[in-house]
Structure 1
Amino acid sequence: MLDEPVIGGTAAYRVLKRGFDITVCTAALVVLAAPMLAIAIKIRSESPGPVIYAQNRVGKNGRVFRLYKFRSMYVDAESRGARWADGEDRRITPFGRFMRRTRVDEIPQLWNIVKGNMSLVGPRPERPMFCREFEKRIHGWSYRTHVTPGLTGLAQVMGGYELLPREKVKLDLAYIRHRGIRTDTRVLLRTIGVITTGSGAR
């Protein structure tokens, strides 16, 4: 059984973390404006529909927010309901598969970070329907919402989509206990490696 974690990080760390998030993500949105436009054009040329895909996710303290992504699936991909992604997911467009492998589809979440819904590092936010099911089956799942969710996290750099939800919980709670500037830096550096290799993409 997983014990409720003591939340790591001093008050100074939390202030620095938020300041770093705003500064880095605002600058990144400016620098990436032209590449984002090119990505948007490519998405529209490959399949009709909106460029940005907004989806409800569960954030800090269980509050639901709208998470933004570049659309990587066909517009009718979930006409039969939501399901967990798999390695041979036919709902994903060819360019969408590239975006997922390189994590390019996550770029719009920089705006979520600026808004304060997310942080650069933290447990990945999940969809409400999945959270409800995991909370029934996995003790400790709800503990993940004690902190602001992240664009990347310890679970993502230690296995990502290859990990089972139960395994992700253990890594997320380990992050919550030990989070700090050093831990966040290590996760961000490992994230660069994941993006470079496409490890764990789906």
Structure 2
Amino acid sequence: MTVADLKPRPDHIEPAVPVGRLDGPGPAYELTKRLLDAGCAAAGILVLLPLLLGCALWIKMVDRGPIFYWQWRAGRNGWLFRLWKFRTMSLNAEDGGAKLAAAGDSRILPGCRWMRKSHVDELPQLWNILKGDMSLVGPRPERPEIIEQLREDVPHIEWRLTGQPGLTGLAQVRNGYSNDLKGMRRKLAFDLKYLRNRSTLGDLRLIAQTLPRCWDTSAC
């Protein structure tokens, strides 16, 4: 299945009340998580600044359009926020409507495919983490249109919204990139497993497991 002809985005998605404990280990965990997020995001921006500037310069050279691209994503409890990425597709990439990237996608800018496979295009989300829209670890934030489209085919997909969305997570480490129903269902299962069992030690373990998987041959 390819998600196409998506419905207009809502202003807010109301997550259903999940069965089981998905509300987190407690305030001590939440405080530790926030301190870890803010510290790592600030350090990451400083350390990776040369790479970020190089990517920005390349995009400007090959296309001369905006360097960054943003989308509405559903955050914790369904509230929407602007997620930032490096723009690796042409300006008219979604003129015919929003659709997921596919292998060999002609909309990708010259020399930018490696940014997508290495997930370097996601690095501007360090700013989202610093602001508190996202966390380092959690379910990947999804577009609200896609959540609405998949409610019937992927039951309880909105349960993912009970936690802070993340730059990486258990689904990314175990499942990788998915754009079909089977993959979406697997991703949801991993996301709910993470939400039921999250801990500071578990978050640190997932960050360590993410590093060797940064290059993703399945990413489009």
Task: Tell me the secondary structure at the aligned position of residue 151 of structure 2.
Answer: helix
CA RMSD of aligned residues (A): 1.5
| Shift in Å, 1:52 | 0.6
Equivalent position amino acid for 1:81 in 2: G
Runs of 4 or more above 3 Å deviation: none
Equivalent position amino acid for 2:164 in 1: T
Unaligned runs of 5+ in 1: none
Retained in 1: the 8 A contact 2:175–2:186? no
Selected match of 2:76 from 40, 43, 60: 60
Give the aligned partner of residue 176 of structure 1: 195
Selected match of 1:4 from 7, 10, 19: 19
Question: What TM-score, normalized to structure 2?
Answer: 0.86
Selected match of 2:35 from 10, 19, 24: 19
**Distance in structure 2 (CA, Å) of the matches to 1:99 and 1:151:** 15
Retained in 2: the 8 A contact 1:59–1:145? yes
**Distance in structure 2 (CA, Å) of the matches to 1:96 and 1:5:** 42
| Shift in Å, 1:31 | 2.0
Aligned pairs, number? 199
Task: Tell me the secondary structure at the aligned position of residue 152 of structure 2.
Answer: helix
Identity of aligned residues (%): 42
Retained in 2: the 8 A contact 1:125–1:149? yes
Matches within 5 A, 1:1-202: 4-7=19-22, 8-162=24-178, 164-195=183-214, 197-202=215-220
| Shift in Å, 1:171 | 0.5
* 1:82–1:41 CA distance, 2 compared to 1 (3 A): same
Equivalent position amino acid for 1:175 in 2: Y
**Distance in structure 1 (CA, Å) of the matches to 2:28 and 2:176:** 29
Whichever structure has more helix as a proportion of its residues is 1
Equivalent position amino acid for 1:79 in 2: D
